[in-house]
Amino acid sequence: VSHLCFPGRVPEWLTSGNMHHQWLLLAACFWVIFMFMVASKFITLTFKDPEVYGAKQEFLFLTTVPDMGKLPEEEHFPEELKPTGKMLPESRLVQPLVHTERLELIRNVCRDEALKNLSHTAVSKFVLDRIFVCDKHKILFCQTPKVGNTQWKKVLIVLNGAFPSIEDIPENVVHDHEKNGLPRLSSFSDTEIQKRLKTYFKFFIVRDPFERLISAFKDKFVHNPRFEPWYRHEIAPGIIRKYRRNRTETRGIQFEDFVRYLGDPNHRWLDLQFGDHIIHWVTFVQLCAPCEITYSVIGHHETLEDDAPYILKEAGIDHLVSYPTIPPGITVYNRTKVEHYFLGISKRDIRRLYARFEGDFKLFGYQKPDFLLN
């Protein structure tokens, strides 16, 4: 072939009479070369690294998905009402199962006669005062302080139409119930209350009971960011007078004093003196009556990043408002902090505290803090 295709000079036998044979031979040479090139390319593709090639195939597939058009939400909702949340990762697909298990646990604990005194409470005015109403979207929200309730109140304020967006709500208005446009369930007639309890979407948020108490203590007696002087000047002295063991100690209220007060079986007489301020540390049972009211969803502070979008979706409002951004790590349970605050407090006092909050631990699936009790 090489001699025919690349001759050094034209052979003597190749005369002008045989010129058509020359062109036929040249065409045959080019055809052989072309077929050789095709065959070599095929061989190269066949013996490439299978993983690399597979990844290349996958990339091509992902980038050639047909354009399905805009989602309905993008077409129908104006820009200011679009949700700002991210797409849910695959882990959130198990959310419905998690919430079903939480509600089933509550039903089982409510049926436990041994825990009846810790899990049941009357649906009194105290409970109804904790439940905020959004009639426009048929939502009831039970307030449980120290678990991110301020943000949920902002969500409801926007939904009720008092302010156009969460960013527009002044901080001093959120907890001013004469200005924030959030009616309490207690403001309705008995018939209207029952109708809403039976038909509205109902939810509240819980948190590890002991960590919540630490948060309440810091917020009301240490930092007091909203300048509520009655906690330090009225409530703290009342607790110190009754529960401080070392009478020569002149410091302000300590967490140990707070724990003794809360763990005292006879704490109620002080509660009556303190009035509604006790909402920051009474049990979730006392606040929301979970065995008497059938809630739609119970969110957990520790998984709020997942639970908040789920609640908005289940309530049918995820296209109208988003839960404010949650700073990274702020909702994670901090055992080190809990150990630090309970350091030096007697096991007797901690066990009495647990005895009071045992209903909350059992109803909402929080692990018994044996590292503090034993």
What pTM does this model have?
0.74
Residue 145 structural domain:
92-207+283-330+358-367
Asked whether residue 158 is assigned to any structural domain, the reply reads: yes
Strand partners, 139: 134, 201
- The percent of residues above 90 in pLDDT, for the chain, comes to 60
Strands 297-300 and 201-206: parallel
Say yes or no to pLDDT of 126 above 60: yes
Which of 6 and 343 is assigned the larger pLDDT?
Answer: 343
Which of 164 and 103 is assigned the larger pLDDT?
Answer: 103
Asked whether residue 43 is assigned to any structural domain, the reply reads: no
Q: What is the pLDDT of residues 51-102, one digit of tens each?
A: 332 333 333 233 233 333 333 333 333 333 333 333 444 445 557 899 999 9
Angle at 121 between CA 117 and CA 126, to 5 degrees: 140
Total of domains in the chain: 1
* Mean pLDDT, residues 141-161 taken together: 94
Asked whether residue 156 is assigned to any structural domain, the reply reads: yes
Asked whether residue 315 is assigned to any structural domain, the reply reads: yes
- SS3 per residue for 171-190: HHHHCCCCCCCCCEHHHCCH
Asked whether residue 325 is assigned to any structural domain, the reply reads: yes
Q: According to the model, what pLDDT value does residue 224 have?
A: 79
Q: What is the pLDDT of residues 254-290, one digit of tens each?
A: 999 999 999 999 998 899 989 988 999 999 999 999 9
Which of 213 and 35 is assigned the larger pLDDT?
Answer: 213
Asked whether residue 85 is assigned to any structural domain, the reply reads: no
Residues with Cβ < 8 Å from 224, sequence gap 6 or more? 231, 232
Asked whether residue 143 is assigned to any structural domain, the reply reads: yes
Q: What is the pLDDT of residues 300-329, one digit of tens each?
A: 999 999 999 999 999 999 999 999 889 888
